[in-house]
Amino acid sequence: MKKYFLVVLAFVSVWSFSSCEDDDDNEYASLESANLSALVVDSINEYIDTNHPNTTIVEVEIEAQYIEVELNNDVELKFDLDGSFLAYDDDNEYVSLESANLSAPVVEAINEYIDTNHPNATIVEVEIEAQYIEVELNNDTELKFDLDGSFLSYEDYNEYVSLESANLSATVVEAINEYIDTNHPNTTIVEVEIKTQYIELELNNNRELKFDLEGSFLGYDH
């Protein structure tokens, strides 16, 4: 009986080890060991050398429809089976506009907006959503753009740092600025919040003012 038990145990151990090996069949330590074509290996290496210099590959996983590569900085990238870059492993998150597979006009429009309104800031993350593009800067500012690259708002949805960035008409901006210049000289706007029925401004003296959607003063926000 003991001999029979040992035989069964040995069989189970071999089967378990074999199963584990099967599970790891699509995982490799390098591109070269993954039995990929030279063209695919060259394409992936070229992308990594260009976009992630000074990194090395620590794991390659071959899936049914894509190749996943993990670098030694914990970044995980997805490539199609021809070696073309698809996305980071967070699916829709990228480290730059250029790596997000956006069209040149969209990249140019977003960069132009950032250069104008956030000089000296750099992009640290780009997230592509169904209806908009979200960009995070290295000063923790998060901006939303439509899929054509036009600025929509800050991540707080209806909060802006100036009247000019709030997508208000020139007439409304002029009316509000005129009121502030007259009644609160030597102050600056630090936040603009667009509500359903009014516009709320906060000045650098901590005063909060309300205007209607046409720029007429309504009152102070107590």
pLDDT at 5: 47
- Give all domains of the chain, ordered by start, each with its CATH number: 20-90 (3.40.1420.30), 98-157 (3.40.1420.30), 160-220 (3.40.1420.30)
d(CA 63, CA 168): 48
- Which residue is listed with tokens 């699916």? 91
Query: What is the dihedral angle through the alpha carbons of 61, 54, 121, 106, rounded to the nearest 10 degrees?
Result: -50
pLDDT at residue 200 greater than cutoff 60:
yes
Whole-angstrom Cα distance, residue 96 to residue 162? 26
Q: Give tens-digit pLDDT for 111-162.
A: 998 888 788 888 988 888 767 889 988 877 788 888 889 988 766 556 777 8
In 30-137, the DSSP E strands lie at: 57-62, 67-71, 76-79, 85-88, 93-94, 123-128, 133-137
- Tens-digit pLDDT profile for residues 167-187: 778 899 999 999 999 999 999
72-116: pLDDT as tens digits: 877 788 888 999 987 766 556 787 888 777 788 999 999 998 888
For residue 38, give both structure tokens. 């030279």
Separation of alpha carbons 135 and 152, rounded Å:
11
User: What are the backbone angles phi and psi of residue 119, rounded to the nearest 5°?
Assistant: -60, 150
